[in-house]
Structure formats: C-alpha cells, structure tokens
Structure 1
Amino acid sequence: MSATVRAMREDDLVSVLSWRNHPDVRRFMYTQHEITASEHRRWFENSQGNPARNLLIFEHENVPLGFVNITQSTLGHIADWGFYLAPEAPRGTGQLLANAALSFAFQTLGLHKVCGQALAFNERSIRFHLRLGFSQEADLRDQHYDGERYHSVIHFGLLHNEWQANQRDTV
C-alpha cells in the first residue's frame, strides 16, 4: 500500500474544489461559503508564487484522496498545516494522509514544528491531532466569527523530535 503526497497540479483543481465544497468538509472551515471555480483558481495561482506554501495531493495506491496545505509562516522552520479528505475516502484514510504529510513536513521540508488549528466544535479533528501526538497549546476563546456566532479555536503543535519518537513507537 503506497501512501504519498505530491505537489498539487492544475488538473487537480476540479477534484480539490469539489472536496472543499462538500458540506461535510465546508462546515469545519473558517470560510464556509461555497467557493466558486474562479475564486479557487485565483487561490491556486496566487499560491504558486509563494515558495513558503506547499499545496499537496494525498494519494493512496495512486488514487487522489485528500488535500494538504503546509505553509511556513515563521522563520526557523515552523509551519501551519491544514487538510481534508475526499468525501468518498475509506475509513482510516486520515491516518495515512497524516503519516505521509507529516513525513513530508519533517523529512522533506526539514521542519522543526508543525502547527494546526481546529474550531472547538470539530471534536473529531481535535481527537485526531491528539492521537497524532500533537500537544494542545492554546484555546483561543471566541476567536472566530462565522457571520452568526463566535467559536473558540484550538491550537496544536508537534515538534520534529516528538514526531520521531512517535514513529519509533509505532514501528
């Protein structure tokens, strides 16, 4: 079973947009409106000019099943990540995506730390980050307003040495 990430290409735009606009994905995003094709294309084209941003497609057995964004935002090899799966991805795919994406982040990019965020009502994402070995570093109360109500945002961090220790423990 090969699980990898690769650079997102222009021919991935339609799939990634349909995954992102799926109601089960969209409801956990900061921006919850349905994204238009032109808006999506502008985002992709703007991202191409940003060397700190890595837009990745997760593939399992050569089938695209997810999207990962790793953006270095801080000097010292620290980056934020975000991800989502194709709605039709089989159960267990999230773990495969995380393993491939974190391996890329720490081994290929040489990052020191990967940070993540989850809206506080996204309990599944919170549990997922904790299972991956991330530490909860902050609970920013009423940090995000979705147009109707405020939501807290949970911040996570995973250091390279913590990831390495987790890799040894799972072998």
Structure 2
Amino acid sequence: MLRPATDGDVETIRRWRNHPKVRRASFTTHEIGPEEHRAWWEAVSADPTKRVLIFERNGTPAGVVLFTGVGSELVEWSKYVDVDGLGPERAAAWEELEYEAIDYAFDVLGADRIGAATLVANTPVRRLHDRTGFIEVRRYTRTVDGVDREVVWNELSARAWRVRKETTDE
C-alpha cells in the first residue's frame, strides 16, 4: 500500500536513504544530515508538482517513492526500500513497490508516461524495469561524486502499462 509521507516519516526516510546500499545506487552518495534532510522535506512537501509516498508492506513502512513533475505529461520517479528492515524479503518488497508505484502514477496522478534515471551499474533495478515493461530511451553520462557514471533513462506509457496488465491478467 502507498500512502502520503508525513512529518512523522521524515527521519525514517533519511535512515533508509543513508543506508550504504541505497547511497551507492544514488546520484548523491554522501550521508545526509538531519538539517539537509529537513530542508529537502520542507521543499518537497510544499511543492505541488512532487509527491513523497511511503510504501507499507503488511502494515509496516518498508520503502519510499518520490514523484516529480506531477501534472505534466512525463512524471519522473525514484524509490528505495528499508534495506535492513526487509532482510530476505527485500526483493519481493522491491517488486511490489514497483507495481504499486506504477499503478499510482497512472491511476492516481494521471500521468501519461513515467520515467526513471538509473545508474547502468544498478543491474537489479534495470532488470526490474525491464520486467515491468519500461523501455530504454537513452543513455548519458552524469558526474557523481566527481566520477562520470553511465545512466540509463527508461520510460513507460500508461497505454503500454494497461495493455501489459490486461494480457497478464488473462
């Protein structure tokens, strides 16, 4: 289940985001301090083009999804999970979060297309995007901590998602 993040979730989100595995897969890899995170939260929660959602699994907060560009034709999204809290259930939770977030983007936000930037080295997420029907649109280089890293930009259209769901539900 996805629900809007609240002030009470802010420190949990920061803890998840600062996990070494999450930082390695991110475009900003430094450990985020409380003041920096609070400033981010104040900005993002006041921005009508952004949504921060908490993914709950079996009633327990287990991940976060960020949508940017809400209200535009293309909505960008990113996500991460509670690496330590999920333990061996992490892969299953990651996939559940992916499907719920895609449904949310199209059914609740009304997006025409969603897109995600992923480091090429992040093979598990790229494979998951492939399984859920994302199409690689382009690759480019982005500097992360002073090092040029290859990035893949994937997109999924609402139409393609609905067709995919119809054919897999049969």
**Separation in 2, partners of 1:136, 1:57:** 27
Q: Which residue of the other structure, out of 158, 161, 164, is the alignment partner of 2:162?
A: 164
The residue that corresponds to 2:120 in the other structure is 120
TM-superposition CA deviations, 1:79-110 (whole Å, max 9, x none)? 00000011122131111101111111100111
Gaps of 5+ in 1: none
* TM-score between both structures, scaled by the size of structure 1: 0.92
**Separation in 1, partners of 2:58, 2:71:** 34
Whichever residue aligns with residue 27 of structure 1, its letter is R
The offset of 1:157, in angstroms, is 0.3
Whichever residue aligns with residue 97 of structure 2, its letter is L
The answer on whether the counterparts of 2:28 and 2:145 sit within 8 Å (CA) in structure 1 is no
Equivalent residues in 2 for 1:19-38, closer than 5 Å: 19-38=16-35
**2:107 is the alignment partner of 1:107:** yes
**Separation in 2, partners of 1:85, 1:94:** 7
**2:84 is the alignment partner of 1:78:** no
Q: Which SS does the other structure have where 2:52 is aligned?
A: strand
Q: Which SS does the other structure have where 1:92 is aligned?
A: helix
**Separation in 2, partners of 1:147, 1:113:** 30
The offset of 1:72, in angstroms, is 1.3
**Separation in 2, partners of 1:139, 1:18:** 30
> What value does the CA root-mean-square deviation take over the aligned residues?
1.3
**Separation in 2, partners of 1:20, 1:35:** 8
Whichever residue aligns with residue 30 of structure 1, its letter is F
Q: Which SS does the other structure have where 1:35 is aligned?
A: coil
**Separation in 2, partners of 1:74, 1:155:** 20
**In proportion to residue count, which structure has more helix?**
2
Gaps of 5+ in 2: none
TM-superposition CA deviations, 1:118-144 (whole Å, max 9, x none)? 11111111111111100000011xx22
The residue that corresponds to 2:150 in the other structure is 152
**2:90 is the alignment partner of 1:94:** no
- Cα distance change of structure 1 residues 154 and 57 upon mapping to structure 2, 3 Å threshold: same
The offset of 1:73, in angstroms, is 6.5
Q: Which SS does the other structure have where 1:68 is aligned?
A: strand
Q: Percent identity?
A: 28
The answer on whether the counterparts of 2:71 and 2:109 sit within 8 Å (CA) in structure 1 is no
* TM-score between both structures, scaled by the size of structure 2: 0.92
**Separation in 1, partners of 2:145, 2:69:** 28
How many residue pairs were aligned?
Answer: 165
**Separation in 2, partners of 1:95, 1:129:** 10
The residue that corresponds to 2:45 in the other structure is 48
